[in-house]
Every structure is written in C-alpha cells, then in structure tokens.
Structure 1
Amino acid sequence: MGTTRLESVPEPKYWHLKTVLSDALDSEFSVGQILPNERELAARFGVARATLRQALEQLELEGRLQRRRGVGTTVAPPRMGVAVADAGHAWPGTAADAWQSLDSTEEAPPAAVAHLLETAPDEPVHTVRRHRRTHGQPVAAESLYVPAGSVPGLAAIDAPAGQARARAVLRELQRLRLEGQDRSVELGSARADDAKQLDRLPGAPVLVVTTRYVADGRTAAVAVATYRADTCRLTFADPAGADVELLAV
C-alpha cells in the first residue's frame, strides 16, 4: 500500500480520517478481514496513533469495524435490517423466519409483558427463546411469550423441553388465524443474560423491539427481541412501498 497524507481540513482530523478509512474499507477490504496494526495505519495516513484510535473507535460505534480479543480489528458485516413497520404479517417460526429456536420453558413473564398479555403477574406462560446470527456472529436474542390459552393443543404433545418443545409451541401458535401485529422499538442497555447471548458486555447499547401478535380479538403472544445496536438498522415501509432505513448507532 502507498502512503496517503491528509490535507489540512477544517473538521477534526480524526473525523476526516474516519471518512478516508471508511472509503478504504469499501474498496480494499472484505468482511471479516483483519486490518493492519495501528502503527502501519498511522504511517499510511500520516497521523498520530491517538488520532487513528479516535477514528477507529468512531467506525466501531458506527458498526463498520469490530474489535475481537485475540484477533484484532476486523471489517464488520453489513448491518442487518430490522423491520419496524411491515405490511406483511406472519407468525414466528414460519418458513421465512430467520430465527433459530433454542429452548422453551414455562415461567412468569416480565410485568410489562404480562400487562400486554392480560395475564396475572405471576401466571406462567410458555417462553420460547430464539436467536439470530449473521456471518457467524450473534446479532439478536428473543423471548417469545405465549399464554397457555393460545396453544391449548400443546398439552397433548410429548415434547417436555428444549428445541423440540420450542418448535411445538410455534407450530401450535401458527394454527391460530393471525389478525394483526404491532411493534414498538426503544434504545436500551443489554442485561446480563442478553449480553451473554449477544457476545457483548452488560450495559452495551441494544435495540429492543416488542411485537404484539393479535388473534381472535386478543393478544395471542408477545415477542421481545434484543438487537445489538452496532449490527442492525431500522427499516420502515413508506406509503409507496419502498423501505426507509434508519441507522442505529
């Protein structure tokens, strides 16, 4: 690689460097590729290592780079789209669903979920845990809460726990006629259990998407999905049918 010197610019040097580095990521590197070390990069762009670190940190915040312990700084995969407003409705677990089921238990849901389900605060519901991965890395974890009344046929199915139980809950839920769904999204911090699944530190920024599924005029299930904020983008459908994207930083 040749040496690229930065011109004198009115904006902070690290911010201009971030733009130059971003262009280099698009033209010279592929997803998962390890960047040269800081000394080589600083020499290439003619900047102090402190300036370089600021630019790298900003690119990491924007989801362009990932720092992996024992590996180095690598090029991050493209952000995954998270549909917040979607004209199509489907139950979890259908053919187009990209989630992988992990297990299913019966436990009382969080108070906010119990309120949406209109169940008693201490009433156990079926809780299906699922996750999503892209380019080999975890990007989202989900808990799907299903009251017993939504899946009455489940009692006759011999699938006591694990993935088999999770799949059985989803199959029974899909027997209902889905009348609609609504979603809300908020920025939050990863709890300890979510952070472990997402390979992040507790308190890392996440997007929490809550989906309420309606059947027979009532809430049949509620899904709470936690996405890594550095790996996803929100997508909204406009009236013309095109997707409008909003990056989550």
Structure 2
Amino acid sequence: MGTTQLETAPEPKYWHLKTVLSEALDSEFAVGEILPNERELAARFGVARATLRQALEQLELEGRLQRRRGVGTTVAPPRVGVAVDPARHTWPGAPGDDWQPVDAVESSEVPAAVARLLELTPGERVHIVHRSRVTHGQPVAAEQLYVPVRTVPDAAVTGTDAPARARAVLRALQQRELEGQDRAVELGSARADDARELDRLPGAPVLVVTTRYFTDGRTAAVALSTYRADTCRLTFGDNESEAGVPVLAG
C-alpha cells in the first residue's frame, strides 16, 4: 500500500489524519470491511499509534467506523435516520409510538437530575418504565421513563408480568391531558446497562434525549432516551423529508 506522509498542518495532527483517513474510507474501503491493524495504519501514514488512535476514535464518534468485539474496526454503514418526535403532541405509548415496553418498577431512587425536573419530595415514589427501540432490525435506543405515583396512582398499574405493568403505566398516563412537552439533546457516554442493550462498549458515545411532559401546570413525566451515536441520525419533524435538524449526521 506504500507510505503516505502527512503534510505539516496548523490543526492537530490527529485531526488532519482523521481527514486523510476519511478520504481513504470513501475511496478504498467498502461498508463492513475490516481496517488493517493499528501498526500497519500507523506505518502507512507515518504517525505514532497514539495519534492514530485519536483519529480512529474521532471517526467512530462521527459514525464512520465501528469497533466490534472479536472483529476489529470496520467501516460503518450510513447512519439510520431516527425520528425523535413523530407524535409531538401525544404521551409515550400512544398510537404511532414504535418504542417497545420492556418492564416497569416502582422506586424512590431516581437520578438527581430527574428528581429536580419532576420536583420530587424526599422519598416520593416513581414508576420507572424501561422501553427499547429497534430500527431496521438493530437496537438503536433504550429509554427510562420516570412517572411519579402522583401522576399515575398505584391502583392504575396492573399486570402479571413486567411488560404488562409497563403498558399499564403508559395507558394510565394517556388518560391525563397533555399540555405540552420539551426536549433537549446532548452527547454522553453509554452506561453499562445501556451499552449491553445497545451492543456497545461501556463509555461509547451516545446521544441522550431528555423529554419532559407537562400536565396541570407541572412536569408529569420525564424520559431519558439513549441513542447509539455511531448508527443514528436524529431527525426532528414528522418525517425525514421535512426541514428538520439532523444531529451529528455522518
């Protein structure tokens, strides 16, 4: 393959290398193809392996590469467009919602940030509904939906198995009048549970969408949805043909 020396550039060396590697991915490699090992790549581009790793990590973050256990680093397919709010004025679980309920538990232990958003009092109990989302046969997101018992009383939650309890919480939630919702998107790192469900390594880059649902003038529920940053392109609007806002599109 020969050796390609990088020209002196004002930007960090790994960033210039990332650009060169990206061009090589477009011209020399097919989707799913395994890249040469780090030693070979570092020799080809005349850089230290630490510089190469920085460039590879950036390309993984941008969705150009995938690192898979037991396989190596492969060229990633184009990102899948995932609509974040196809049903903007409905509760979770309403018709058209393609999330699948997995389980539901009741607890007084919730993340501090969620407790603040819900304005929980110490010891106040919350239904935690776990849901998953699959697109084109691959897991793309995991969600924890937090619903205070004051919003959905215990009596409304029935079911002999975990998915049934989750569906019961969602049905009870849909009986309330939804006054509005808002969303925020930020880059994060996969927690162990989310990484396992999404077939990623712990600490892998993810996109976290926080959604607040309002009724009776206060926050009635909060959803933390964790999307794979390497395979997802989040879209906003009823469909991808609208002028939405793609997040980290590759």
State TM-score, norm by structure 2: 0.74
| SS of the residue 2:208 aligns to | strand
How far 1:175 moved relative to its partner? 2.0
Q: TM-score, normalised by structure 1?
A: 0.74
Q: Which amino acid aligns with 1:60?
A: E
Q: Does the aligned pair in 2 maintain the 1:17–1:52 contact within 8 Å?
A: no
Q: Deviations over 1:126-152 (max 9, x none)?
A: 110112234544332211011223234
Q: Describe how 1:116-195 pairs up with structure 2 within 5 A.
A: 116-152=117-153, 155=155, 158-195=158-195
| Map 1:204-223 → 2, pairs under 5 A | 204-223=204-223
Q: 1:98 to 1:24 in 2, by over 3 A?
A: farther
1:35 to 1:60, Cα distance in 2 relative to 1, 3 A? same
Q: Mind listing any 5+ residue stretches in structure 2 that lack a counterpart?
A: none
Q: Distance in 1 between matches of 2:158 and 2:61?
A: 46
Count the aligned residue pairs: 238
In the alignment, is residue 24 of structure 1 matched against residue 23 of structure 2? no
Structure 1 residues 66 and 134: CA distance shift in structure 2, 3 A? farther
SS at match of 2:245: strand
Aligned CA distance change for structure 1 residues 54 and 135 (closer, same or farther; 3 Å): farther
User: Which residue in the other structure is 1:35 paired with?
Assistant: 34
Q: Distance in 1 between matches of 2:80 and 2:214?
A: 26
Residue pair 1:189, 1:203 contacting (<8 A) in 2 also: yes
Query: Contact 2:233/2:246 (CA < 8 Å) preserved in 1?
Result: yes
User: Residues 84 and 183 of structure 1 are in contact (CA less than 8 Å); yes or no, is this contact kept in structure 2?
Assistant: no
User: Aligned partners of 1:184, 1:76: CA distance in 2, in Å?
Assistant: 27
Corresponding residue for 2:244? 243
Give 5+ residue unaligned stretches, structure 1: none
Distance 1:4 1:184, change over 3 A: same
Residues 158-192 of structure 1 deviation map (CA, whole Å, 9 limit, x = unaligned): 40441111111112212222221011233333333
Letter paired with 1:122? G
The Cα of 1:5 is off from its aligned counterpart by: 8.5
Distance of aligned partners of 1:138 and 1:119 in 2 relative to their CA distance in 1, 3 Å threshold: same
C-alpha distance 225-87 of structure 1, shift in aligned 2 (>3 A): closer
Identify the residue that residue 226 of structure 1 maps to in structure 2. Answer: 226
Q: Counterpart of 1:124 in structure 2: which amino acid?
A: R
Moved more, 196-205 or 121-130: 196-205
Counterpart Cα distance in 2 of 1:185 and 1:53? 27
Give the 3-state SS of the residue equivalent to 2:222 in structure 1.
Answer: strand
Q: Which residue in the other structure is 1:14 paired with? A: 17
Change in 2 beyond 3 A, CA 1:194/1:24: same
CA–CA separation in structure 2 for the residues paired with 1:171 and 1:248: 34
CA contact (8 A) 1:81 1:233 kept: yes
| Structure with higher strand content | 1
Give the Cα–Cα distance (whole angstroms) in 2 for the partners of residues 56 and 126 of structure 1. Answer: 40
The one-letter amino acid paired with 2:243 is A
Equivalent position amino acid for 1:34 in 2: E
- Over the matched positions of the two proteins, sequence identity in percent amounts to 60
CA distance in structure 2 between the partners assigned to 1:182 and 1:188 by the alignment: 19
